[in-house]
């Protein structure tokens, strides 16, 4: 490279960091572009990984299919269980609960979604819950699961995050990734362009590259500490800023869903794996101290604890540019929504996929960078709105935290969605938006937003037809669920992990 130009050929890619983000990036690049790119990953055993991130969403299965990762092998290797959705407890008010499942609600028409027909049914005296018309939700409630070519359930996984990174490491190394262990001491930039040229390790080893992927976690060693890219803070909309995770022994068969239980200053997760349970308390440090959070967590978890709880601090928001010069940030280095809807691993996958689609083989071009950043921003903001909804739409007023959430200002984009749903039950999925209408409807209703009106096309169905339509669907779903095996039984025959003992 001469003194004024940025690299015109991008062949050497360096991934800084080997957490979930680093190894997902490594797996994707090595599997899809093996032989085209020369990829090196640097990670530091001394620093370690954040080690959480165990609840996923269905698009992970698409990623695995593209990588040709065998599901049973993956599940055995990562102690995984199946996930059909999330059970929200005490969010709308104490004692209340609802499931946000991955399934479709009933059958929609081109003119309006199914939940309008359900609302019409309620108005005509047909008592039921929207969830009665969703197969995944009913299976989750019954603790049942199966997958087969005849049964198209939409599901994801609960997995052991540390083991998953190891699993992907093995996979990536098989496809030609070079791994270097060592702590990055210095990041060298081109004197004029500011592009990154190399990473210098504590050992003195220099790793040169044409393109760098920053997967160094919250610290953002390249994207922030070196390039000073800037961070858009969302704390005023997503106020939780701390988490304290702990693992416990299983005390019963795993449920095929994640539990998220609201408490006075945040919420607690419970993620059942094959060999243990992942738990954690998420909270806002303005309303709860670290000591109180840890005490509360240990009081509320079931089963013997397997590790010492430790506090993780985070700031919700996004990096102003996910791609800056010749650096792309992925994972926690690119921002964090908070874990409520299990979206972080998904964003790593869409981030690396987008890079591969726009890959700067012949040099970094600003138009591509801008396009990448526009798409990432739009994606992140829609997910943000969905998560903010859970905090904003609450009837809880039993603590300063929930009073703050209920009264806080929210993004205009979300305010518009809430207003449209409240007025006419209208929910929508924008272009390239992760959450479907089914998700918006389940969560809006679950959080207590009751529509005043619904689509009048529903009135074209006679009461008799409506009873037959709704009743038939509900009965059919109940029959399918009845025949499903218990989640634990299905795991035992399909993907039981060989490990017999719990190692924490």
Q: Per rule CB under 6 A, is residue 53 in the interface with ligand FAD?
A: yes
Q: Binding string, 259-298, against ligand FAD, x = CB under 6 A? A: ---------------------x------------------
- Residue whose entry in the numeric block shows the structure tokens 């019954």: 142
Q: Cα separation of 266 and 290, whole Å?
A: 13
Q: Cα separation of 82 and 54, whole Å?
A: 12
User: Is 325 annotated in the active site?
Assistant: no
In the complex, least distance from residue 401 CB atom to ligand FAD, rounded to whole angstroms: 17
Q: Per rule CB under 6 A, is residue 243 in the interface with ligand FAD?
A: yes
H-helix segments, 264-365: 290-300, 344-357
Q: Per rule CB under 6 A, is residue 213 in the interface with ligand FAD?
A: no
Q: Per rule CB under 6 A, is residue 29 in the interface with ligand FAD?
A: no
- 242 touches 290 (CB < 8 A): yes
Q: Per rule CB under 6 A, is residue 484 in the interface with ligand FAD?
A: no
Distances (CA, A) of 278 to 159, 257, 262: 9, 12, 16
Q: Cα separation of 219 and 333, whole Å?
A: 7
In the complex, least distance from residue 201 CB atom to ligand FAD, rounded to whole angstroms: 7
Q: Per rule CB under 6 A, is residue 82 in the interface with ligand FAD?
A: no
3-state secondary structure of 224: coil
Which of these, 68, 104, 59, lies nearest to 348 by C-alpha position?
A: 59
Residues 6+ apart with CB under 8 A from 138: 131, 132, 477, 478, 481
CA distance from start to end of the chain? 49
Cβ closest to ligand FAD, residue 138 vs residue 342: 342
Only one of the segments 1-9, 53-61, 102-110, 228-236 lies at the binding site for ligand FAD (rule: CB under 6 A); that segment is 53-61
Q: Per rule CB under 6 A, is residue 52 in the interface with ligand FAD?
A: yes
Q: Per rule CB under 6 A, is residue 105 in the interface with ligand FAD?
A: no
Q: Which of 342, 376, 458, 497 lies at the binding interface for ligand FAD (CB under 6 A)?
A: 342
Q: Cα separation of 420 and 424, whole Å?
A: 6
Distances (CA, A) of 73 to 67, 78, 80: 13, 9, 10
Residues 6+ apart with CB under 8 A from 462: none
DSSP state, residue 34: B
Q: Per rule CB under 6 A, is residue 177 in the interface with ligand FAD?
A: no
Only one of the segments 4-12, 29-37, 330-338, 478-486 lies at the binding site for ligand FAD (rule: CB under 6 A); that segment is 330-338
Q: Per rule CB under 6 A, is residue 85 in the interface with ligand FAD?
A: no
Interacting positions 178-207 with ligand FAD (CB under 6 A): 183-184
Cβ closest to ligand FAD, residue 27 vs residue 333: 333
Helix axes 344-357, 366-392, angle to 10 degrees: 160
Q: Cα separation of 331 and 347, whole Å?
A: 7
Q: Which of 85, 131, 217, 256 lies at the binding interface for ligand FAD (CB under 6 A)?
A: 217
Q: Which of 65, 68, 83, 141 is catalytic?
A: 83
In the complex, least distance from residue 393 CB atom to ligand FAD, rounded to whole angstroms: 22
3-state secondary structure of 148: strand
Only one of the segments 45-53, 227-235, 361-369, 416-424 lies at the binding site for ligand FAD (rule: CB under 6 A); that segment is 45-53
Q: Per rule CB under 6 A, is residue 43 in the interface with ligand FAD?
A: yes
Q: Per rule CB under 6 A, is residue 15 in the interface with ligand FAD?
A: no
Q: Per rule CB under 6 A, is residue 341 in the interface with ligand FAD?
A: no
Q: Per rule CB under 6 A, is residue 332 in the interface with ligand FAD?
A: yes
Catalytic positions: 83
Residues in contact with ligand FAD by CB under 6 A are 17-22, 42-44, 47-50, 52-56, 161, 183-184, 215-217, 219, 221, 243, 245, 280, 312, 314, 331-333, 339, 342, 344-345
């Amino acid at each position: 490279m001469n003194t004024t130009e940025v690299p015109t050929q991008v062949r050497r890619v360096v991934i800084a960091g080997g957490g979930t983000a680093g190894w997902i990036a490594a797996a994707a690049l090595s599997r899809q572009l093996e032989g085209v790119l020369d990829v090196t990953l640097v990670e530091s055993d001394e620093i370690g990984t954040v080690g959480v991130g165990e609840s996923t969403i269905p698009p992970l299965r698409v990623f695995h299919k593209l990588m040709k990762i065998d599901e049973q092998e993956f599940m055995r290797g990562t102690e995984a269980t199946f996930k059909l959705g999330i059970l929200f407890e005490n969010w709308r008010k104490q004692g209340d609960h609802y499931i946000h499942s991955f399934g479709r609600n009933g059958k929609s028409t081109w003119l309006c979604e199914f939940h309008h027909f359900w609302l019409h049914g309620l108005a005509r005296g047909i008592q039921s819950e929207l969830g009665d018309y969703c197969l995944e939700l009913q299976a989750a409630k019954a603790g049942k699961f199966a997958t087969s070519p005849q049964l198209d359930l939409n599901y994801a996984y609960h997995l052991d995050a540390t083991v998953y990174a190891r699993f992907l490491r093995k996979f990536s190394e098989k496809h030609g990734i070079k791994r270097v262990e060592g702590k990055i001491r210095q990041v060298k930039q081109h004197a004029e362009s500011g592009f990154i040229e190399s990473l210098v390790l504590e050992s003195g080893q220099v790793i040169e590259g044409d393109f760098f992927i920053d997967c160094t976690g919250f610290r953002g060693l390249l994207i922030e500490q070196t390039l000073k890219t800037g961070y858009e803070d969302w704390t005023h909309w997503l106020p939780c800023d701390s988490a304290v995770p702990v693992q416990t022994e299983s005390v019963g068969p795993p449920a095929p869903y994640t539990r998220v239980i609201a408490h006075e200053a945040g919420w607690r997760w419970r993620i059942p794996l094959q060999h243990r349970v992942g738990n954690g308390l998420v909270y806002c440090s303005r309303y709860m101290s670290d000591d109180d959070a840890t005490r509360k967590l240990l009081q509320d978890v079931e089963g013997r604890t397997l590790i010492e709880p430790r506090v993780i601090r985070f700031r919700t928001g996004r990096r102003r540019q996910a791609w800056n010069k010749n650096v792309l940030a992925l994972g926690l280095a690119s921002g964090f929504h908070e874990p409520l809807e299990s979206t972080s691993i998904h964003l790593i996958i869409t981030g690396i996929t987008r890079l591969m689609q726009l890959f700067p083989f012949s040099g970094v071009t600003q138009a591509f960078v801008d396009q990448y950043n526009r798409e990432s921003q739009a994606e992140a903001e829609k997910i943000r709105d969905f998560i903010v909804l859970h905090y904003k739409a609450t009837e809880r007023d039993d603590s300063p935290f929930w009073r703050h959430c209920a009264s806080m200002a929210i993004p205009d984009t979300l305010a518009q969605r809430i207003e449209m749903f409240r007025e006419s039950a209208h929910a929508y999925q924008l272009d390239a938006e992760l959450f479907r209408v089914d998700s918006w409807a389940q969560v809006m209703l679950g959080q207590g937003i009751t529509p005043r009106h619904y689509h009048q096309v529903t009135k074209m169905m006679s009461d008799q037809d409506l009873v037959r339509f709704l009743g038939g669907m509900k009965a059919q779903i109940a029959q399918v669920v009845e025949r499903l095996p218990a989640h634990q039984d299905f795991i035992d025959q399909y993907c039981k992990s060989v490990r017999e003992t719990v190692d924490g």
